[in-house]
Structure 1
């Protein structure tokens, strides 16, 4: 099966740049009941590599602290932490089966108007430019 580097693949990005203490958003529903759902925001606490793997390689797991997570903590000394492991997701592109392995995380310092639609945020900065490129974006951003 080919590993296509298309920009869209079941919500998994083709690459993700993370560092300790960066803010992230979960891009998949991993465990709905305790709150590990698509759109959950958290802070990276640890990035774990296996064996001789080093940064630029895909981490084995990322431990993220999610403020709204109500499940058991992965770490005894830090509450609300959950392990995020790479997912392998597949999809059909025409008749071709494609797949990608990646962490279901994306940086959360900035987001698009459509990506954050329906979420509640404490503070936002909205840059809509000199004019809307699509009718209704300003309303969507402020509502």
Structure 2
């Protein structure tokens, strides 16, 4: 799942779900170093493809976030991707998914949460 608005006009928006194709590191590096970029396939992406043999592929590069806590400036650099093979109902709110397996449990912790879960997939 993409965690940043990278190219809104071409469909690369926060919460977009895609598939990681490969992880590329700089020469002579590997884990635990940060990758140079991660090639992902995003079905809704409409821009130029990164790898011709993989339509809708796009390289996601590290981005630096900065903020202030008290009077101390802080920053971190990371790849704006999250695992999305398992989502909470709250994280899926607002998404439209082609398929979903939903475990709604025995009771509702919050009124309406089952409706949110069930309305996030396409009805056919």
Relative to the length of structure 2, the TM-score reads: 0.87
- The count of corresponding residues between Structure 1 and Structure 2 is 119
Partner of 2:25: 49
Q: Higher helix fraction: Structure 1 or Structure 2?
A: 2
**2-structure distance, mates of 1:129, 1:78:** 39
Partner of 1:8: none
**Structure 1 residue matching 2:116: 3-state secondary structure:** helix
What is aligned with 2:43? 67
- Write the deviation string for residues 18-75 of structure 1: whole angstroms up to 9, x where unpaired: xxxxxxx100000001111101111111110002111222111001111111100111
Higher relative contact order (CA 8 A, sep 6+): 1
TM-align CA RMSD = 1.4
Match runs of 1:20-99 below 5 Å: 25-99=1-75
Structure 2: stretches of 5+ with no match in the other structure: 120-124
